[in-house]
Amino acid sequence: MRSNTILNYHPLESLRVQRPVHRIDYLCSLVKGLRVLDLGAYDDTEVNKLQHKSWKWLHREIAASAAAVLGVDAAKQISESGEVITGTNSKIIYGNVENLTDIIKAFQPDIIIAGELIEHVEAPMPWLRHLAAAAPGKRLVITTPNATSIINIALAMLGRENCHEDHLAIFSFKTLSTISRRLPLKSGVIRPYYYDAQLFRGRFHGSLAPLINLLEYAFLRPTQFMFPLAAFGLILEGTLETEPKNGSPTLPTVAAQ
């Protein structure tokens, strides 16, 4: 069931939010057999640093499901070679994700994935409007950490904050809804995704694995299921369109519980 959600931006208004999904599994289900443009695909943490055996690299997981994957990233490691071959049907090329017109025209993707990228972009709205103009009719999927996640709330109570050094913004359900309605985005849907303990399993001794699993499955997962606005991250997806002639905003469609 889906319903158009009109936000009043009142702190006490009720938000109908879908139950969380598993981010990587969900994205892989969306790209089966498709040509995927994977923006911000390269991450030195994921590629060159030793990780726990449970670690999953989004780009590689997408490639296992899609017909073809073209990653775009401005990482120094890629600028030196121009491209990195990551699989039989995937590679990452050097490029600026804020100027994709030529790449989109040449590759002709079916779907565009921007995984954990929007929070790194200096000017999100101009970037997304450029993307809409360059790829009208293409499916866009954006994932980003959630400002109101249970992790952020817990850390704040301890006088701490979870933030990558390259993050320029952090989005909530309402701010992502605002972006959706100001974009030429058709059938926009926002859904939360679960925290995945693979993000920190490798930081602790293996003997602590049972405790980490207990924390994840006995507390974090149930809490996020019962309170979706406290989920670790958010997924915004929809079909890009050209700017409406009348300039009126496109209202997001939020999957209801």
Q: What is the pLDDT of residue 162?
A: 86
- Higher confidence at residue 2 or residue 60? 60
- Higher confidence at residue 239 or residue 206? 239
Compute how many other C-beta atoms are within 10 angstroms of the C-beta atom of residue 68: 18
pLDDT band at 216 (very low <50, low <70, confident <90, very high): confident
Within-domain flag for 212? yes
pLDDT at 253 over 60: no
Within-domain flag for 256? no
Within-domain flag for 254? no
The mean-pLDDT minimum among 185-189, 195-199, 234-238 falls in 195-199
Helix and strand element counts for the chain (H, E):
11, 10
Q: What is the pLDDT of residue 8?
A: 82
Tell me the residue type at 16.
R
CB 180 within 8 A of CB 252: yes
Rounded-to-integer distance, Cα 219 and Cα 206, Å:
20
pLDDT at 249 over 70: no
- Higher confidence at residue 103 or residue 54? 103
Within-domain flag for 257? no
pLDDT at 42 over 50: yes
Instruction: Give the mean pLDDT of the chain.
Output: 85
Mean pLDDT of the 22-38 span = 97
Rounded-to-integer distance, Cα 182 and Cα 243, Å:
10
Bridge partners (DSSP) of residue 93 are 72, 83
| Burial class, 257, CB count within 10 angstroms (exposed 0-12 / middle 13-18 / buried 19+) | exposed
Q: What is the pLDDT of residue 227?
A: 96
Domain encompassing residue 190: 13-243
Within-domain flag for 1? no
pLDDT band at 77 (very low <50, low <70, confident <90, very high): confident
Domain count, the chain: 1
The sheet carrying 139-145 orders its strands as 83-87, 90-94, 68-73, 35-39, 111-115, 139-145, 233-240, 185-193
Rounded-to-integer distance, Cα 187 and Cα 174, Å:
17
Within-domain flag for 235? yes
CATH number at residue 219: 3.40.50.150
Within-domain flag for 78? yes
Within-domain flag for 255? no
Q: What is the pLDDT of residue 251?
A: 44
